[in-house]
Amino acid sequence: MEPASDKRFDPLTATQLLLEVAQEHLLQPILKKLVDFAVERTAFVFSQVWMIEKGDLCATCKYRSECADQSRCLHLVVGRGRALPGAEKGLSPCEDLNSRVPLNLGPLGEAVASGQLKVIKNPDQQPITAPGFEWLGPERIAEFGICPIKFKGEVLGAIVSFSPQDMPETLAPWSRIFADHIGAAIANARAFEEIQRLKGQLELQNAYLQEAVVEAKAFGDLVGQSSALRHIVGQIDVVAPTEASVLILGETGTGKELVAHEIHRRSARKDAPLVRVNCASIPRELFESEFFGHIRGSFTGAVKDRAGRFETAEGGTIFLDEVGEIPLDIQNKLLRVLQEKRYERVGDDRTRRANVRIVAATNRDLKKAAAAAKFREDLYYRLNVFPIHVPPLRERIDDIPLLAKHFVELSARELNCIKPRLTRAAVTRLQSYDWPGNVRELRNVVERAVILARGGVLDFDLPVSGQPSPPAGPSHGPVSPASNPAQSRFLTEAEVERFERDNLVAALEAANWKISGRDSAAELLGIKPTTLLSRMSKWGLKRPEREPS
């Protein structure tokens, strides 16, 4: 290793270092380049960078009693050194990143507090050892300089350089130049790291928003095989790759939200956010702020700037659920977004561009609402570019077995229950019900049955199809056959027994005369195998013998 005295300060090399530092986006590489340059390309034998950070080692810090403000202190964030001839061997303490020095304490703290360059000559002859530099004793240092790092008047920390000989006065201006450039580079690096942190946070938020649409009581994730569902999927495949607005129509609980998700997932915007807005839950006076955002002070309670849903969905898709609930005065502004792709935050003069695709859904007849002047006709036609009708569950009975199986598995997993058994008889019961609440009601019924089953056979508590629900209270007075047609026809005891026998035979034949187990006649009838055998004996029923082939 060549002597330190042979190291010459080269302004061209220093300028090249500043250019390299300006291109760095991360803090640690910037600081490492600085100390490496100081030790390898100049007469300095040690170089450190100290930064003002939050107090973290206060409980074990040897300067704790001298620290007036333990919320902040100077942290050694990077250090580099090379041994001098005759100096003691071993790992240099100048690289100990656990080093801390209170603000205003010793030469380092004083230089940072004043923001002025400070040079300490012959440190080994000073009456008091400088805090943070106790390791200097055996290193034969002639002097060291402390140059505060500042950015826009704020002191961020300090560069400390140690020399075995007197430093030339020409280095002082360069120290200030380096400190100023490093201050700007540190500020930029911190801003970049903050941007990366916020970007990661937004990505997590977007993932949550997308998951909220998929998982929030998901409508079977397009589970089914009926012709109606296949038609919907075909429509989604046609419109998803385009930028056309889509209006999803259907009763409450049919799965309109999941259709919106599938349109987004199969579109070119799938990697951008999908933001859902439940228009029915927004107070009338907050619609504009919720959609377009607001600036601080634009209305009472607007304590800070806030981005709206359209801004949050930038580059992606916004799903306006229950779009028929939007007030007429807001419909005009929504129409402008659809036509001009522009909007303003509440209280702001700046016009923003909306790069979003709009998918809307409603259970209302918007055409009738437009005719009655309750919904803007021009907005209706802008939304209704490509309508998709989601049929009610009663028109998709072929999908009920797969949906029920899906919800049983989903409910058992989410509710932490033992997975119960779904029988053919139970599925038949589900298919015989007309499901006024559609898929949402089916899921609720399945969840309740999974809880009650306790790992056994599922039993669904449903009204008999076509029959009215039991009255809320007892009736008073006699009921004549004329007033209640359900009681105008009755069966005799013999007819009841004949019906029960025929029903038993039908179940046995459907189960191929299997008495017990899965898909047996007992399971189809919902009775115990012993009860089935008793009734077969009562009516003398036996499996017919097969005719010889």
Q: Which domain holds residue 145?
A: 11-192
| Lowest mean pLDDT segment, chosen from 135-139, 248-252, 306-310, 374-378 | 135-139
Q: Which of 389, 424, 441 is at the close of a domain?
A: 389
With a cut of 80, say whether residue 486 has pLDDT above it.
no
pLDDT at position 467: 42
Which of 113, 99, 314 lies closest to 202 in space, CA to CA?
314
**Is 319:260 a contact under the CB 8 Å cutoff?**
yes
Q: Does residue 476 belong to any structural domain of this protein?
A: no
**pLDDT tens profile 310-323:** 988 889 999 999 99
Let me know if residue 487 belongs to a domain. Answer: no
Residue 418 burial (CB count, 10 A): 10
Looking at the fold, whether 236 and 360 belong to one and the same domain comes out as yes
Say if residue 208's pLDDT is above 60: no
* Residue 112 burial (10 A CB sphere; 0-12, 13-18, 19+): buried
Asked if residue 83 and residue 39 are part of one domain, the reply reads yes
Which of 175-184, 221-230, 352-361, 467-476 shows the lowest mean pLDDT across its residues?
Answer: 467-476
Torsion of Cα atoms, 364 then 366 then 371 then 374, to 10°: 70
Q: What is the residue-wise DSSP string for 17-43?
A: HHHHHHT--SHHHHHHHHHHHHHHHSS
Mean pLDDT of 2-23: 64
Are both 377 and 232 inside the same structural domain?
A: yes
State whether 300 and 259 are in the same domain.
Answer: yes
| Confidence (pLDDT) at 31 | 84
On whether residue 375 sits in a domain, the answer given is: yes
pLDDT of residue 351: 87
Average pLDDT value for residue range 170-186: 79
Rama region for 60: left / alpha / beta (φ>0; ψ in -120 to 50; rest): alpha
Tens digits of residue pLDDT in 52-66:
888 888 878 888 888
Question: CA nearest 256: which of 287, 227, 213, 210?
Answer: 213
Characterize the bridge pairing of strands 351-353 and 342-344.
Answer: antiparallel
Query: Contact, 73 vs 102, CB < 8 A?
Result: yes
Q: How confident is the model at residue 77 (pLDDT cuts 50, 70, 90)?
A: confident
Per the structure, the count of domains in the chain is 4
Residues 403, 283 within the same domain: no
Predicted local distance difference test score (pLDDT) of residue 370: 93
What average pLDDT does this structure show over 447-455?
A: 89
φ, ψ dihedrals at 428, nearest 5°: -60, -40
Residues 294 and 399 in one domain: no
pLDDT one-digit tens code per residue, 431-440: 989 999 899 9
Pick from 32-41, 255-264, 449-458, 462-471: least confident = 462-471
pLDDT score for 376: 94
- Look over the chain and give the mean of its residue pLDDT values, rounded to a whole number: 81
Question: Nearest CA to 250 among 437, 383, 378?
Answer: 437
Same domain, 242 and 361: yes
Q: Is the pLDDT of residue 414 over 60?
A: yes
CATH number for the domain harbouring residue 439 = 1.10.8.60
161 shares its domain with 41: yes
Residue 283 lies in a domain: yes
Confidence band, pLDDT 50/70/90 cuts, at residue 206: low
Q: How does residue 248 score in pLDDT terms, banded at 50, 70 and 90?
A: very high
3 state DSSP class of 41: helix
Among 171-175, 436-440, 466-470, the range scoring the smallest mean pLDDT is 466-470
Please name the residue that has the structure tokens 């270092």: 17
Tell me the DSSP string of 168-194. PTTHHHHHHHHHHHHHHHHHHHHHHHH
Nearest to 388 by CA among 490, 509, 280, 249: 249
Our measurement of the distance from residue 13's CA atom to the centroid of its chain's CA atoms, rounded to an integer in Å, reads: 48
- Number of residues that this document lists for the chain: 549
Structure-model confidence comparison of residues 176 and 281, the more confident one: 281
Give which of 368, 287, 276, 357 is closest to 325, Cα–Cα: 287
Residue 488 has pLDDT above 50, yes or no: no
Per residue in 82-98, pLDDT (tens digit) is: 755 544 555 566 778 88
Structure confidence at residue 7 (pLDDT):
55
Cβ–Cβ under 8 Å, residues 376 and 323 = no
- In this prediction, residue 220 has a pLDDT band, given cuts at 50, 70 and 90, of very low
Asked if residue 204 is part of any domain, the answer here is no
Q: What is the CATH number of the domain that holds 281?
A: 3.40.50.300
Q: Which residue has the higher pLDDT, 23 or 281?
A: 281
> Do residue 256 and residue 341 come from a single domain?
yes
- Per-residue pLDDT reduced to its tens digit, 493-545: 777 778 888 888 888 888 888 888 877 888 888 788 888 888 888 888 888 77
Q: Are residues 28 and 177 in the same domain?
A: yes
Same domain, yes or no, for 96 and 184? yes
Q: What is the pLDDT of residues 354-366, one digit of tens each?
A: 999 999 999 999 9
Q: With contact defined as beta carbons under 8 Å apart, do 361 and 322 qualify?
A: yes
**Mean pLDDT computed over 334-348:** 91
Q: Are residues 414 and 521 in the same domain?
A: no
Selection from 207, 438, 163 nearest residue 171 by Cα: 163
Whether 425 has a pLDDT exceeding 90, the answer reads no
Higher-pLDDT residue of 337 and 131 is: 337
Q: Per the domain annotation, does 488 fall within a domain?
A: no
Whether residue 487 contacts residue 481, with contact meaning beta carbons closer than 8 Å, is answered with yes
Q: Evaluate if residue 126 carries a pLDDT over 80.
A: no
Confirm whether 438 is domain-assigned: yes
Which pLDDT does position 548 carry in this prediction? 53
pLDDT over 90 (residue 378)? yes
Coil, strand or helix: which one is 19? helix
Name the β-bridge partners of 144.
Answer: 120, 162
What is the rounded CA–CA span in Å between residue 106 and residue 122? 15
Q: What is the DSSP letter of 476?
A: -
* Dist. CA 34–CA 183, nearest whole Å: 12
Beta strands in 127-281 (DSSP E): 143-151, 154-163, 246-249, 274-278
Residue 20, in any domain of the structure? yes
Least confident of 56-65, 71-80, 154-163: 56-65
| Predicted local distance difference test score (pLDDT) of residue 333 | 92
Question: Domain boundary residue among 143, 175, 192?
Answer: 192
Q: Does 219 have pLDDT greater than 80?
A: no
